[in-house]
Amino acid sequence: MRSREGEEGDRRTYFLLTAKGGVGTDVNPLAGANVYLNGEWKGATGADGQAEIPLRLGRNYTLLLYRHGYQQVTGRISVDKSGEAREFVLAANNALFKVDSEPSAASVYIDDEPVGKTPLAGGKTVTLGFHSVRLAYGEDYRDFFEVMEFTKKEEDRTGERRIVLQKDFLKLGERARQKGDIEGAIKAYAAAGREHPDYAEARRRLGDIYLDDKEDYDAAIAEFETVLALPENQQLIYKQFAVTFTNLGHAYCEKGNRLVASDRDAASSQFAKAIKALQTARQNTRFFPSAEYDEAVHDTYYYTALSYHKLYLLTKQPAVMNSASLAWREYFDFFPKKLEGIPTFVQAREAARRYRDQIQEQ
């Protein structure tokens, strides 16, 4: 009877392979190194860089060790004693990473390790493959962060390919707003162009200013709709913008209130738009940012009920009255406990009771 590979009679036979990887004398256990004998895959090294590779004693094999990002090792191997240890070193395939930035003197981090400041004209050696790269200048500039794939011997991000750091318009706008400089905050947020990574958040904050500070509801609606029209936000890929539907509904509701006396049809249209936006918000409350979750939930239910209420007063449709009555009931049912006792929300709750009583008297 012919024995299978790695067996001698009833006994399993193998050799203990240790793979290390690195540059020069700076080597460490290498996990995930694939081991082939005579072209057949026999296993891969574990976290400790080791693997027990089955084979027949005294037989010659062609060995191949391979791991992405390292130079493969080939050779002949023969083992006379089961459990015999063999060690191999795979030299790392390296890339030379040169980088500069605008402005210069930004701190450079590769895989969270500081490697110097720009310009790194002499370059920094990195292994081929994926690495996180972060540049931090501080002051009024946004950190640059990107996971880069190094696939060639030199990656040159200097000269025309230097990394241009973006102004941190969110920081500038928030600083101005905290000082009470509303116009300065508007200017800062508006400066974030379409290609800026904070574009959507800057426009959302602009909308908040127009809604809460300027009471310019047309401008607020325009900003919120700009944010929500972005393809990634239409699909709620960036879940933090779910609360923007609440703010949009709030703005439509306020605009409707302003139009009630002068244009009842236009006011009705605004309340209907508010309800539509707020219904989307209600379906996505689980995505509201934790820092403003309770306030956002409150506003979602409050302005939903208020919009139905105002729409009923304009249309006198029984179905709308029923929707308003249900919406006020849900407002009280879902009122966040953490907001109880806070003056602004106490006042909102008192107003809601008056509105509910008004509906019940119809």
pTM of the predicted protein model: 0.71
- Report d(CA 267, CA 69) in Å as an integer: 64
pLDDT tens profile 234-281: 776 668 789 999 999 999 999 999 999 999 999 999 999 999 999 999
What are the tokens at 316?
């006198």
CB 53 within 8 A of CB 35: yes
Any residues with CB less than 8 A from the CB of 314 and at least 6 apart, and which?
A: 260, 264, 267, 268, 271
Which tens digits make up the pLDDT trace of 70-94? 899 999 999 999 999 999 999 888 8
The values of phi and psi at residue 243, to 5°, are -65, -15
pLDDT attached to residue 108: 98
pLDDT of 8 > 60? The answer is: no
Through-space distance between the first and last CA atoms of the chain, rounded to whole angstroms: 96
pLDDT tens figures, 196-244 = 999 999 999 999 999 999 999 999 999 999 999 998 887 766 687 899 9
Distance CA 332, CA 244 (A): 22
- 120-127: strand order across its sheet: 120-127, 94-99, 154-157
Spatial separation of the C-alpha atoms in residues 30 and 67, rounded to whole Å: 9
Per-residue model confidence (pLDDT) at position 1: 32
Residue keyed to tokens 């082939």:
36
DSSP per residue over 210-235, as a string? IIIIS--HHHHHHHHHHHHHSHHHHT
d(CA 237, CA 129) in angstroms, rounded, equals: 27
Cα–Cα distance between 320 and 271 in angstroms, integer? 12
**Res. 111: pLDDT tops 90:** yes
**Residue 152 has what pLDDT?**
86
DSSP 88: E
Residue 5 has a pLDDT of 55
